Structure 1
Amino acid sequence: MTGHPHGTAAPGAVIEEIAALGPFFAVSTHPAGAPPAGPWASMTGPLLAERAAGVRAYLAAAGGQPQDAVEPRVAASVAHLGLAARLVSPALAAAVLHRRPLGYDLGAVRWQPALGGPVPVSLPDDALRPALPAPDRLADAVARLLLDGPLAELADHMGALGVSRHILLGNTASAVNGAATALAAARPELAARAHAFTALLLDRPPLRAQSARTPAGTFRRRSCCLIYRAAPDRAGALCGDCVLHGTPA
């Protein structure tokens, strides 16, 4: 498929095309307002805290350490980055492929909070909004409906687990850039459009202060997700976009 820039595709076809981009883009849909039915659950604060605790145990085991060796805020940040990527990726794809924003509350999301790979996610079937062909208006809508909506709610929950707002916003900026990179790899003919739209989104609040470009033009976040601190002696490898590689000129 080549995409329908003016929003002419049926919602089911849009979701199908997005899902074909890869596991971080794949989403299901469910009737808006319907209660979750197993194995699906609502994305609530207690379940998000359980997710962070599970990530902490996983990171500790991966490093051959006791669980107490991994700081709770490190695990919460890593859990947040993975979930932010799961919510950002399909929204970015809907915007780039079809010029359509996604809008929903975090409580309307359904997920299967199992560890190991991208978590299954389902969105309400009314989440797909009408197309906005003008790139600036579309970026404004995605910033309002996604970044100031469910992503802000997700950050509030993870902030309660000890992660600073600066790190959480950096995680979100990293998720946006990562989604654009993955979309461009899956659909090379859309690479220029994906990166151009991502630049518009990263230039809007709340992400404007969270990203920069290296002299080579690559994305660099202005905070660290802290995952390096989960390794023994807190000496793990840094992510490719980490601020600790050095501040861009």
Structure 2
Amino acid sequence: MADPARAPQDAVAAAMEDAAALGGFFAMRTGGPGEGWHPVQESYARGFADLATAVADRYRTRDPRVGVSIAQLGHAARLWSPVLACALLHGIVLDLDALQRADTGSALRLPHPAGWYADRLPHREHALSTEVMGHLAALEAGLDVKIAPRLLDGNAASALAGSAGVLLAARPGLRTPLTRLVTRLLGTGRLVGTGSLTGPDLAFRRRSCCLYYRTPAGSKCGDCCFAD
């Protein structure tokens, strides 16, 4: 039986193309040859080890938790950015079930664009949270490095707020609906209690630390619980 909430593939592709035009982490690729890509679930099962190691090497740290935390934070931003943009700009909730990752990098793609019309779903915020947090939960389950779950949840919240801030800067007319959506997402599931918005431009203060300050050249991030 057809799902009445399903959006046609061309509508999802158009939404993703519009989001990608914002640049940076908003660019989630679609279609194209399968060579050079693998199901992101395979990366999760390996604990994101290649990206975590690359991050640790880049920041010259021997603490494996730092590499894992920063890699997970970056991945969360690559999930939240297009998800927020498609939801706010086109009313489409992306279906990330078939998500793939580049074999030699952190880029993501959907081989076949898929999603739902947000206004045909009973709970848009729950659907958005499920898509992103489901991936982050799978990543966490595959980790072989012991790291506090609430630190990872804080990273997810920080990535959400950061992605929203970039979207707001690019599309200031979205301020009211974007602020409302982010506030509701921060009150959903594992993001509850991770932090709070502190200003009209979606400034955020988290209640945990991503550990970046532990790198040799590191400092406290602007939303860190330890920041002045």
Q: Mark the runs of 5 or more structure 2 residues left unpaired by the alignment.
A: 1-6
Q: Which residue of 1 aligns with 2:213?
A: 228
Shift of 1:22: 1.3
Match for 2:123 among 137, 144, 152? Answer: 137
Secondary structure, aligned partner of 1:243? coil
Percent of paired sites with the same residue: 36
Partner amino acid for 1:155?
E
Distance 2:12 2:192 in 1: 31
- Segments of 4+ moved more than 6 angstroms: none
Q: Mark the runs of 5 or more structure 1 residues left unpaired by the alignment.
A: 1-6, 61-68
Partner amino acid for 2:126?
D
Partner amino acid for 1:89?
S
Match for 1:82 among 74, 97, 100? Answer: 74
Does the CA-based 8 Å contact 1:103-1:145 persist in structure 2? yes
Does the CA-based 8 Å contact 1:49-1:161 persist in structure 2? no
Correspondence 1:184 to 2:171 = no
Correspondence 1:237 to 2:219 = yes
TM-score, L = length of structure 1: 0.78
Report which stretch shifted further, 138-147 or 222-231: 138-147
Does the CA-based 8 Å contact 1:170-1:223 persist in structure 2? yes
Distance 1:57 1:240 in 2: 23
**Counterparts of 1:133-212 in structure 2 under 5 Å?**
137-147=123-133, 149-158=134-143, 160-212=144-196
Report which stretch shifted further, 44-53 or 91-100: 44-53
Partner amino acid for 1:192?
T
Q: Which residue of 1 aligns with 2:4?
A: none
Partner amino acid for 1:178?
G
Partner amino acid for 2:204?
F
Match for 2:62 among 58, 63, 70? Answer: 70
Shift of 1:90: 0.7
Secondary structure, aligned partner of 2:109? strand
Distance 1:86 1:229, change over 3 A: same
Distance 1:177 1:112, change over 3 A: same
Correspondence 1:109 to 2:99 = yes
Please report the RMSD computed on the Cα atoms of aligned residues, expressed in angstroms. Answer: 2.5
Correspondence 1:56 to 2:56 = yes
Does the CA-based 8 Å contact 1:42-1:110 persist in structure 2? yes
Distance 1:188 1:133, change over 3 A: farther
Distance 1:54 1:101, change over 3 A: same
Shift of 1:190: 1.5
Report which stretch shifted further, 125-134 or 222-231: 125-134
